[in-house]
Amino acid sequence: MANVVVVGSQWGDEGKGKIVDWLSERADVVVRFQGGHNAGHTLVVDGVSYKLSLLPSGVVRTGKLSIIGNGVVFDPHAFVAETKRLADQGVVVTPQSLRIADNASLILSLHRELDAIRENSSSGTKIGTTRRGIGPAYEDKVGRRAIRVMDLADLSVLPERIERLLAHHNPLRRGLGEAEIDPQTILDELTSVAAEIVPYIDRVWRLLDEKRKAGARILFEGAQGTLLDIDHGTYPFVTSSNTVAGQAATGSGLGPASSGFVLGITKAYTTRVGEGPFPTEQENEIGRFLGEKGHEYGTVTGRKRRCGWFDAVLVRQAVAINGIHGLALTKLDVLDGLDEIKIAVGYRWNGKVIDYLPAGFAAQQEVEPIYETLEGWKDTTAGARRWSDLPAQAVKYVRQIEELVSAPVTLLSTSPEREDTILVRDPFQD
């Protein structure tokens, strides 16, 4: 059996929740390997909706082991709040069903405060973050001053860890005109939650190695999308982690040879939340149609998403960067009823035609999409479970996407319902 890595091939919000839930039913272990509680999705199981931000999707299914890997920045208070919300819905998360990497870095209140200060600033630092402290926590991790999950198991080390952390943050806060933080405040913040976290702590790299050797099917659950990757995305309007498939190994401790099938979740059109370039954005009736019909609002923030036509240039680039073996194409039904549908097949930039998104921010803003126009369809695709249920023009649209991005469609989603999925190839049977 192959393991499966799920990544978003656009700017996130591609509909990973349904696909990951569909796959998690077939998996034995579900692993989060990057990001934090800034990445949310909704799962619908037996008619009940579960909104998850930090926890892996496997927690809502009995008999699955869920893991929060070392590549995740972990907010202990957000974790406690999310598990309590699930308990209210009848899902009890225990140390038998969930493990947290001992070497994951923590998100603290000072990280959230710094995130908000920067986003509220008029100095040009606004990125459009969720203000949940993700970026500042990753900065401390890279700066080798982070407090980590393992430190909660030995409270005696916390004063020294806090002193080292505040040696950076207090001068920074002074420079921003903010009050310094009393070390006792951070110590109280951590000691108040430590006992609830410690039972979940584990050497995740070893646990995953044991599961792999035992033949377990492992699902690596990515958050956000390739175009928000800190290296490969539309920098600086990106997240603070690597969102691509290669991070599944680094962020979990399981070697890259064990990653397996890479599934790229891909929306049948394009959306983006927050600031930054968006070549195919439609600030017109088409954009409003896609947003309203697709219910394009963020799971975590509730922010309205920007909408536009499918961009084959970007997805083709994501296929190459991630080594995507197959696509899970979602929300095809949102396009039902359009007279014509456009696909960006290239860009014009600096007087020439290019087939990639330039790395420079200015260039990303300047590119002009070259569109191919396809005939739309009046019949509905919603609820289709076989290729024969789809209108001929919808099939043509899907086939054209496959050709343009150089990757086959492995799964096709035609509604939010789990059963409304056309399976071409089971990634776990690769």
Residue with tokens 């401790």: 253
Report the pLDDT value the prediction gives residue 45, as an integer from 0 to 100: 77
Q: Please report, in tens digits, the pLDDT of each residue of the chain (430 residues total).
A: 589 999 999 999 998 888 888 898 899 999 999 999 987 777 777 778 888 999 999 999 889 999 999 999 999 999 999 999 999 999 999 999 999 999 999 999 999 999 999 888 756 556 667 788 999 999 999 999 999 999 999 999 999 999 999 999 999 999 999 999 999 999 999 999 999 999 999 999 999 999 999 999 999 999 999 999 999 999 999 999 999 999 999 999 999 999 899 999 999 999 998 889 999 999 999 999 999 999 998 666 677 899 999 999 999 999 999 999 999 999 999 999 999 999 999 999 999 999 999 999 999 999 999 999 999 999 999 999 999 999 999 999 999 999 999 999 999 999 888 788 999 998 998 6
Give long-range contacts, CB 8 A cutoff, 24+ apart: 78-87: 78/36, 78/37, 78/53, 78/54, 78/107, 78/132, 79/37, 79/54, 79/55, 79/197, 80/193, 80/196, 80/197, 82/37, 82/52, 82/53, 82/54, 82/55, 83/55, 85/51, 86/50, 86/55, 86/59, 86/60
The predicted model scores a pTM of 0.93
Q: Which long-range contacts (CB under 8 A, 24 or more apart) does 172-177 make?
A: 172/114, 173/114, 176/117
Residues acting as catalytic residues:
13, 41
CB 264 within 8 A of CB 319: yes
Q: State the pLDDT at residue 419.
A: 84
Q: Which residues pair with 329 in a beta bridge?
A: 266, 412
